[in-house]
Amino acid sequence: MGSELIYRGHETHPASDSYSPKPVKPWASVIRPIRYMLREQRLLFVLVGIAIATLIFTIFPTSRAPHVPHHHFTTSISDSITYFPIEPQNKFSYPHRVGFESANPTGKIPLGLKRKGLRIVVTGGAGFVGSHLVDRLIARGDSVIVVDNFFTGRKENVMHHFGNPNFELIRHDVVEPLLLEVDQIYHLACPASPVHYKFNPVKTIKTNVVGTLNMLGLAKRVGARFLLTSTSEVYGDPLQHPQKETYWGNVNPIGVRSCYDEGKRTAETLTMDYHRGAGVEVRIARIFNTYGPRMCIDDGRVVSNFVAQALRKEPLTVYGDGKQTRSFQYVSDLVEGLMRLMEGEHVGPFNLGNPGEFTMLELAEVVQETIDPNAKIEFRPNTEDDPHKRKPDISRAKELLGWQPKVSLRKGLPLMVSDFRQRIFGDHKEGSNTNNASTS
């Protein structure tokens, strides 16, 4: 029997149950959080937390500053900044080194900002220039550590700082390593007069090279700024006159003065290598002839020679024909230049000297006028490698440091003469006044 299709569209199928959600129970939104809190002792932990917070705020209440009228607000912060009432619309510029933002949220302007003292090491700080630099740094409010082996330095130069809590003195040779925590390093340690640096030339060049390496290493370790006191001797017997910092010099590398000349040139090289290779902040000063109180009396330099000889009623010894020229700056001018260089933003090198040029005969005549018009002049054979001309071009220091010497030879020489007279003859009253005048 053949299959057939049967149409059953007329039959009705049972309808499937349609979806209907469960009725929402009343208070479900309240019951569920309560059940959650009651499980696993959660409510107990919440209550304990509330109790602890309440206890803390009870023991350590928040202090609220009393209301002070806006126009009469005055306060102090860390003893270094004092706020005084100033109209909000007034403009004021802050020193860049203090580090304040230009906007002041309180609307008050700090006046009388007190500079924070630095911790500074001065190698050779008991010497002629170093001791005057220490005086200025101490007077500025810095803490100063003097490092000196007293080869040419004298304790008497810094003895007036003994007992000052901001002053320390370490007897140490910079050829040996030194560990200190400092912000700045003034590296002056090295004999600077021909008599002293020719006494032990090997020691002189070691002091220049190894001593500079040690101080640069210290600066790198502690992140200090380093200033090298180089010399005009790096120009040798110059073929350029006056000498600019771009001049490379005319130096005899095997002469009797080369231990000092080439030592300083190498020290400059090391300083720049540490700056470029290790990122050390460095400054380089090339110092020209300097005079003033506390110079070594018999150090062989022309100014001290002439002054000491005139005071002792001896002939003034002029080497060669006396036509060699030098430029002489007073020590306070040099110290000012060194500090400006250290605090400035320029590496250098910078010539620091007085461009006033004198022949040796002219200098002898000034000494005669100042001390003894009857002093005689005696000529002697010139020394080896003695430069014929020496005069700085200080245009770069004028432009970038805002520095130039202020004390002329005729004004500064009498102060030096008074100091020498006191040390040679014991005139304490006159000498002490001279020292005070020179440091001020």
Among 331, 348, 327, 355, CA closest to 400: 348
SS3 427: coil
In whole angstroms, give the CA distance from residue 342 to residue 187.
11
Question: Of 260, 274, 291, 330, which residue is the catalytic one?
Answer: 260
Q: Which amino acid is at 164?
A: N
What's the sign of the alpha-carbon dihedral 378, 287, 158, 178? negative
Judge whether 260 counts as a catalytic residue: yes
CA atoms within 13 A on the CB side of 152: 30
Asked if 146 and 158 count as a contact pair (C-beta separation under 8 A), the reply is: yes
Asked if 185 and 224 count as a contact pair (C-beta separation under 8 A), the reply is: yes
In whole angstroms, give the CA distance from residue 403 to residue 285.
13
In whole angstroms, give the CA distance from residue 395 to residue 406.
15
In whole angstroms, give the CA distance from residue 390 to residue 220.
34
Identify how many contiguous H helices and E strands the chain contains and give both numbers: 12, 16
In whole angstroms, give the CA distance from residue 131 to residue 7.
125
Asked if 393 and 241 count as a contact pair (C-beta separation under 8 A), the reply is: no
Report the 10 Å Cβ neighbour count for 199.
Answer: 13
Q: Helix 331-343 crosses helix 428-439 at what angle (to 10 degrees)?
A: 30
Q: Which amino acid is at 286?
A: R
Note every long-range contact of 222-226, with CB atoms under 8 Å and residues 24 or more positions apart, other chains counting: 222/180, 222/181, 222/182, 224/182, 224/183, 224/184, 224/185, 224/281, 225/183, 225/184, 225/185, 225/281, 225/282, 225/283, 225/342, 226/184, 226/185, 226/187, 226/271, 226/274, 226/280, 226/281, 226/282, 226/283
How many angstroms separate the most distant Cα atoms in the chain?
165
Residues forming beta bridges with residue 327, ordered by sequence position:
357
Q: What is the four-CA torsion angle of 430, 431, 432, 437, rounded to 10 degrees? A: 90
- Annotated catalytic sites, by residue? 260
